Amino acid sequence: MSSIKLAQAKTSSLYGKDCLTLLDYTSEEILHLVEEGLQMKKFPIQSILSGKILAMIFEKSSTRTRVSFEAGMQQLGGNALFLSSQDLQIGRGESIADTAKVLSGYVDAIMIRTFEHEKVEELALHASVPVINGLTDTFHPCQALADLMTILQLKQTFKGTKVAYVGDGNNVAHSLLIACAKVGMDAVIAHPEGYGPDPSVMEKIAEICELTGAVITSTSNPEKAVHEADIVYSDVWTSMGQEKENEIRLTAFHAYQINAELMSGAKKDCHFLHCLPAHRGEEVTAEIIDGSHSAVFQQAENRLHVQKALLKELLIG
């Protein structure tokens, strides 16, 4: 709640920082968060955030992000405030900058789920407390941290593990690919023409790969992508805010469904992941998401554990 970001005040590398995208975090910081998430799972109740308050601004719907952050704060002894943008004055035109400055006087961190990524950057610029991106149109870093934690639980190692993401080059895909690049894990994205990841994000991913040795590629061929994959990942074809494009997207992504036939090209012991919510019969069949390869509920639970690790690091170091 001080007027300067707290980063200078303590030695822990993430103390007082924002979490807008994993591009801003080092490989070591990301690995540390994932390992701490595993610890949080082992030892769930610790009152380390007693007296701390997290404001949570939602401009889009949420089940996992809202409940996992709220439950996480409570388990750590703190509190979370659910703030719908419809109820806040930002819904009536108050600026993001003023909102950031005002909230910084009341709470210890702000989590926001919104549309344009620039809005989160604007909030972070004017807030004197850490700002956490709970999903924008471009990134979903908290999801990617949970994805890494889940992959580590399932495969015990990132090196030599192959991730195949099949579908839209969206917020979840961007953050997953960044996370893979940061930890040196190979990944491929298969997407229809015109629905690939943002080229500027892929450029940054290529730079990270130079440092970590990860190989991240893209293809339009889903069979090629899942070939010998350890992890097959999908997300919805129509993200929040794109509802008007639903019909055209259903057609464009038709050949990108994760079904038994496509999964048969992956490794026998492969796992299926999905950030949820899922649309059975669209991006994935019920047989796969509800079948033996699926680890989606373990993945969803891990949002809680790894975000508790994140909150601890940002708020107390």
The residues carrying an active-site annotation are 113, 140, 143, 235, 275, 303
CB of 145 to ligand CP, least distance (A): 12
**Contact call for residues 243 and 279 (beta carbons, < 8 A):** no
> Under the criterion CB under 6 A, does residue 289 sit at the interface with ligand CP?
no
Count of residues in the chain: 317
Burial class, 208, CB count within 10 angstroms (exposed 0-12 / middle 13-18 / buried 19+): buried
Q: Which residue is nearest to ligand NVA (CB)?
A: 239
Nearer to ligand NVA, 170 or 307 (CB): 170
Question: For the CA atoms of 252, 256, 261, 265, what is the dihedral angle to 10 degrees?
Answer: 140
> Under the criterion CB under 6 A, does residue 239 sit at the interface with ligand NVA?
yes
> Under the criterion CB under 6 A, does residue 112 sit at the interface with ligand CP?
no
> Under the criterion CB under 6 A, does residue 171 sit at the interface with ligand CP?
no
Burial class, 264, CB count within 10 angstroms (exposed 0-12 / middle 13-18 / buried 19+): exposed
> Under the criterion CB under 6 A, does residue 276 sit at the interface with ligand CP?
yes
Binding mask 48-77 for ligand CP (x = CB under 6 A): --------------xxxx------------
CB of 87 to ligand CP, least distance (A): 19
The Cα–Cα gap between 38 and 243 comes to: 36
> Under the criterion CB under 6 A, does residue 275 sit at the interface with ligand NVA?
yes
Nearer to ligand CP, 75 or 104 (CB): 75
Pairing of strands 186-190, 131-133: unpaired
Pairing of strands 231-234, 162-166: parallel
Task: Please choose which of ligand CP, ligand NVA, none residue 236 contacts, taking the beta carbon within 5 to 8 angstroms, the exact cut-off set by kind.
Answer: ligand NVA
Q: The dihedral of CA 236, 308, 130, 81: what is its sign?
A: positive
Task: Please choose which of ligand CP, ligand NVA, none residue 294 contacts, taking the beta carbon within 5 to 8 angstroms, the exact cut-off set by kind.
Answer: none
Enumerate binding residues for ligand NVA (CB under 6 A). Answer: 135, 170-172, 235-236, 239-240, 275
